[in-house]
Structures are given as structure tokens and as C-alpha cells.
Amino acid sequence: MHRSIYGWVALQMVATLALGGQTSALASPPRPSCSGALLQFSVVEQGKTAVDRFRFALALSGEGSTEQAALNQLNQRLARLRQALQPVIQGRLIVPSPSTYSRPGRSGARQPFVANTGVSGEVNRQMYNQLIQSVGGQPGVRLQGMESIANEQAETALQQRLRAAALRQGMGEADSTAAAIGATRVRLLRINRSDAMRGPRRVQLSGATRSGFDPGEAPEPMATVRMELLYCLT
């Protein structure tokens, strides 16, 4: 499994050494007690984890001379699509209620009414290419894309590693800054954290080869950990 962790650090001195017990008269949010220098900076750590499964999204349509005829064709196509998907999907399908409309400015068209719905679900890595090929040629079916999803346990483990890396990086920067200003003690006062799992990421469906689509070429889900760290240097 390919992983990458990288980050950036921005340093901002938010206070100076207290002199003679004087404090600033400017209004500011309450800060933890510190008799030395306050050091605040941001750390961002990112990493990837392996794809566990995929979420697919299909658009399905039917046409007809009346709304009912369009719905009838939509129902027929949906039945065929369900039959094709049943051997490859993981879990259940999600099919919202259909919508119908008449094509504007096409009153003389042979099939002026359209009925639409969507079909979504999940498929494991082994069935990735089979699903794409099985729905690709069906009439009225449009494959809107597939999204890569991480395993929950792997995602949690990755988040924990990124948090630990962010804290190590923060402490290293704080130690370096303390040494530069002659401080001998570093104390972590506050952590503001925000985590995100980017993705599931969209898989592009162009560029198929003779062997079809390889799940190993799909984008890997990426996690991001952001921390605002506040240290006291004395």
C-alpha cells in the first residue's frame, strides 16, 4: 500500500517575553497562563490509504410519447439494470423516485417525454471492472463515475499516525524556536484540530485499455490533519 505523509509549517510569534508583569491592553481571547513567550503555528499532515471498495453512481432515463410511456420504459430499463448489477454489487442499491418532464420546444418530437432516476451502490475491488463493463452498453444508462472509499479501520489508523506526526513536528519546531531565543522549557498549552478524509475521490472513466479498468489505478483516498498548536516557551 502506497502512503505519503508531508506537511508545511507556518510560524507566528503571538506574544513576547513579559516584562515587569505588564500585559497588553488590547482585547484578545483568553489565553492559557504563560510567563514566557507564546508560540503559535499551524501544522498540516497528509497521507493516503488503500482503496477498500468503490461507490458508483448511474443515471438512468426512459423516453416516451406520454409521461406514462416514459415511465414504463424507465421501469423496464431499471429491471434489466438491477439484474445486471445483482451479481457484482456489495450491499443494497439506492434508487430515488423518478422525475418526468417534457422536452422544451420539442412538442413535435417523436418521444417528447423523459423520465429520469439514479442508481447508486457499492462494489468491491474485485468487481470494479466487471461493473463498469456490465452497465456501459445498456440503453438509457450513463455511468457518472465511481468513488474510492477507504476501509474504516485503515482510515482510523492513518488519522492516528498523522496526528502523532503533526504533534512530533510541532514539538520539533517549538524546541528549535526555544533554542533560538534562549528558552529552556517548552510546554504545549492548546491544540485546535480539524481532520478530513478527502474523498471518496472521483475515478475518471476515460482511457480504458483492452484489459479494462484496473482498480489499482484508481485514486487513493487521502486524509488531512490540521492542527493549530500553542506553546509556552520559558
Q: Which of 109, 127, 149 is the last residue of a domain?
A: 149
What does the alpha-carbon distance between residue 85 and residue 87 come to, in Å, rounded to a whole number?
Answer: 6
Same domain for 77 and 124? yes
- The total of other beta-carbon atoms located within 10 Å of residue 218's CB is 20
Lowest mean pLDDT among 30-39, 78-87, 195-204: 195-204
Lowest mean pLDDT among 4-18, 98-112, 123-137, 148-162: 4-18
Is 80 inside a domain boundary?
Answer: yes
Same domain for 100 and 141? yes
pTM: 0.59
Look at 129 and 4; give whichever has higher pLDDT: 129
Same domain for 89 and 40? no
Same domain for 66 and 124? yes
Please write the tens of the pLDDT for every residue from 22-37: 333 344 556 568 888 8
Same domain for 223 and 163? yes
Same domain for 170 and 130? no
- Give the model's pLDDT for residue 51: 82
pLDDT at residue 17 tops 50: no
Number of domains in the chain: 2
Is 1 inside a domain boundary?
Answer: no
Same domain for 79 and 145? yes
- Give the model's pLDDT for residue 108: 55
Same domain for 143 and 164? no
**DSSP state letter for 212:** B
Kindly report the CATH number assigned to the domain that includes residue 114.
Answer: 3.30.70.2970
Is 69 inside a domain boundary?
Answer: yes
Q: Half-sphere exposure (CA, 13 Å, Cβ side) for 8?
A: 1
- Residues pairing with 231 in the sheet: 39, 188
Mean pLDDT, the chain, rounded, equals 78
What does the alpha-carbon distance between residue 14 and residue 109 come to, in Å, rounded to a whole number?
Answer: 69
Q: Which of 102, 120, 149 is the last residue of a domain?
A: 149
Same domain for 137 and 181? no
Domain assignment of residue 118, given as a range? 52-149
* Mean pLDDT across 71-86: 95
Look at 194 and 176; give whichever has higher pLDDT: 176
- Give the model's pLDDT for residue 217: 67
pLDDT at residue 94 tops 70: yes
What does the alpha-carbon distance between residue 55 and residue 123 come to, in Å, rounded to a whole number?
Answer: 6
Lowest mean pLDDT among 143-152, 172-181, 208-217: 208-217
Same domain for 144 and 184? no
Same domain for 137 and 191? no
pLDDT at residue 145 tops 50: yes
* Mean pLDDT across 78-103: 93
Same domain for 141 and 56? yes
Per-residue pLDDT band for 212 (boundaries 50, 70, 90) equals low
